[in-house]
Amino acid sequence: MSHFDEGILVTGSNGFIGAKVVEVLLKYGCRNIRCFVRPASQRDRLNAILLRLKAADKVKIVTGDLRTPADCVRAVRDVSLVYHLAAGFGKSFDDAFTNSAVATQNLLEAFAAHGKPRRFVNVSSFAVYSNFRMERGAPLDEMSPIEESPEERFDAYTFGKLKQEEIVRDIGRARGIPFIILRPGTVFGPGNRDLPGGSVSAYLDSSST
Ligand SMILES: NC(=O)c1ccc[n+]([C@@H]2O[C@H](COP(=O)([O-])OP(=O)(O)OC[C@H]3O[C@@H](n4cnc5c(N)ncnc54)[C@H](OP(=O)(O)O)[C@@H]3O)[C@@H](O)[C@H]2O)c1
């Protein structure tokens, strides 16, 4: 961050991780944060944070749907940094593709044309790794192979996240947007304390970023 007044957009800002990202940015001192939510979003997590930190004046709520290009344009105008956390979690491939991949394409195109792109942070998932060709018990890490056939494994979420990453790399390079792709393991902490057995995990507490 070079300036705390820089425009920052957080998508999925009322989500489990997104709300925490907003909280951490506010604690860092950022005061020009745009929080993207869908019209039907409960906004419970976000509202609780804004109330607790008395930060309503540092945040602008942008309502829309990332599947709609015009909503993305409204969201990114004058924004230089995007934390993209919105994603499709539905069981259908159609849901995963539109909410993870099409939404990301719309957002990147809008960012390139109407934003002031300095960095696009894409939150992907360790779900894109595959243990299909790995030895039983071998650790899954950044060097593990990427899933090649999510459709054959009926894994709509992974399909959406792989397509999302592809789009970030393609459009990021073509339009000159500096980007980074993060692949967290299962995240747990306040708001989601259940930890599936044997999973790769990241703990989200009040001091983590
Ligand atoms: N939780 C984990 O353990 C974990 C692990 C690895 C990676 N991740 C990744 O981290 C990110 C955040 O995950 P999370 O657990 O915080 O998810 P979450 O609580 O379900 O939040 C996801 C958000 O995406 C938004 N969204 C979905 N489709 C949208 C669309 N078409 N337009 C605008 N917003 C849309 C929803 O917004 P509304 O609230 O407005 O409906 C929701 O708040 C995701 O990209 C996920 O793949 C999560």
Instruction: Give the span between the Cα atoms of 21 and 42, in whole angstroms.
Output: 17
Domain membership flag for residue 209: no
Give the domain range for residue 132: 7-203
Domain membership flag for residue 172: yes
Domain membership flag for residue 173: yes
CA distances for 7 relative to 32, 76, 98, 148, 166, angstroms: 5, 9, 26, 37, 26
Mean pLDDT confidence for 85-104: 96
**89 CA distance to ligand 1 middle (Å):** 7
107-129 pLDDT, tens digit per residue, is 999 999 999 999 999 999 999 99
**55 CA distance to ligand 1 middle (Å):** 22
Total number of residues shown for the chain:
209
Pocket of ligand 1 (CB under 6 A): 11-12, 14-18, 37-38, 41, 65-67, 85-89, 99, 103, 123, 125, 184, 186-187
Give the CATH number, domain containing residue 46: 3.40.50.720
Mean pLDDT confidence for 189-204: 69
User: What is the pLDDT, as a whole number, of residue 115?
Assistant: 98
Domain membership flag for residue 1: no
**136 CA distance to ligand 1 middle (Å):** 31
Task: Give me the number of domains the chain comprises.
Answer: 1
User: What is the pLDDT, as a whole number, of residue 37?
Assistant: 98
Domain membership flag for residue 2: no
Which of 15-19, 133-137, 155-159 has the least mean pLDDT?
133-137
